[in-house]
Each structure stands twice: as structure tokens, then as C-alpha cells.
Amino acid sequence: MDVIIPTIKNQTDIMPLVDAIIRTAGMDINIIATCREVCAAKNRNIGLEKSTGDIVCMIDDDICGLPQNWLADMLAVWNAYPNCVMASPRLMRTDGLFGSMIGYPVSSVGLEVIESRELPSACILMINAGLRFDEEYIGSGFEDSDMCRQLKWKFPSGIWICNHAVKVVHKNEMKNQTGENYKINLARFTRKWQTES
């Protein structure tokens, strides 16, 4: 499976994460680290263009605390749900509390089908169906919400799953996401999807 790390960091800086992914994935993987100083959406798309799989894993450069066999366990869940288009482990904060996640999982154990059909792209399995992240979003933020909307339209019967049995730590560094970028990206997202039925 291809594991995409969409990142503005260089190869040297992400080697600890690469090593952790290889050590804990529990399956054969091919890592695609983008390492380009461009917006998050562009980095995500660079990874998708280099991927050949029907399913990809995408993991942000501020993820840590990967448990053993996390990717193999996530793939097993994916395979159990034929209509799955996106799946995420439970994101945790560095202090051990639950991290914030779009889609707002309400459970804390087992598998949860997310009714809003949204999940953050911090650490996901995602169907690779030719869709691309919108590169008009500046820095980072809202490109994952936008992708979820695209997937909802393409796969009206698709499901989104949060696997609470797999927990990973998301430092949530929010690179180039706050301030003016947030306002601009929110406005673009609202304008683009305000006509959604």
C-alpha cells in the first residue's frame, strides 16, 4: 500500500516519522513523501499522482505515537466494509485526551460509521478514485473538508469510518492554517458548497 506523507518538511526532518511508519505498519508499504513548499492540497495531490493503488494511506507530518500494526488493522476494517471511501483512526492529543476531528465522532470504542460523512485527512485510508484536492485553498485547512464533499457526491452510498481501536497522536500543528488563511479558506469553502442539497 502507498503511504503518502504530504509535507513541506525536507527528507531529513521527516525520517523519524518514516522510520516509525515502516516499523509499525504491520504490512508492506511504499512511502511517498512529497517534501514540497507548496500548499497542503498541492502536496496531497503530488502524492496521489505518484500513487498507483486504489486505496491510499495519507498521514500528516505531525502524527506520532503510531501503535503496532495500525495500518494493517485499519486495512482490515476497510476490507470489512465494501462501501467504505474513507477511514481514520481515533486522533488523540499529546496530553492523552481525544483530539478534534471533523465529522465529530461521538463514540470512544469500536468502529463508528460517521453519519456526517466527514473525517480529517491527518491520518486516513482513502479511496483513490481520480479526485484531487482543491489547490485554491491557501496554506492548509478546509482542503480535507472539500475532499469529503467531493467524495460524497461521487459515492452517494459511501461510508466513512472512525476506528476507535486504533489511536494515533496528532500534534495538530496547523501549519499556515490560522489567521487570514483561515478566513480566506472558510469563505472559499462556504461559497463553493453553499448550494449543496
Q: Give pTM, 2 decimals.
A: 0.92
How many Å is the maximal CA-CA distance in the chain? Answer: 45
Can you give the pLDDT of all 197 residues of the chain as single tens digits? 999 999 999 999 999 999 999 999 999 999 999 999 999 999 999 999 999 999 999 999 999 999 999 999 999 999 999 899 999 999 999 999 999 899 998 888 899 999 999 999 999 999 999 999 999 998 888 999 999 999 999 999 999 999 999 999 999 887 776 788 899 999 999 999 986 54
Looking up cell 501503535 gives: 67
Tell me which fold the domain 2-193 belongs to: Spore Coat Polysaccharide Biosynthesis Protein SpsA; Chain A (3.90.550)
| Nearest residue to 134 (alpha-carbon basis) of 57, 186, 189, 174 | 189
Q: Single out the residue of 37, 4, 27 nearest to residue 147, CA to CA.
A: 4
Task: Extract the C-alpha cell encoding 65.
Answer: 505515537
Nearest 5 degrees, angle CA 117-CA 122-CA 128?
A: 65
Q: What is the crossing angle of helices 180-193 and 143-154, to 10°?
A: 20
What would the grid cell of residue 46 be? 503530488
Instruction: List residues bridging with 92 in a β-sheet.
Output: 98, 169
DSSP state of 98: B
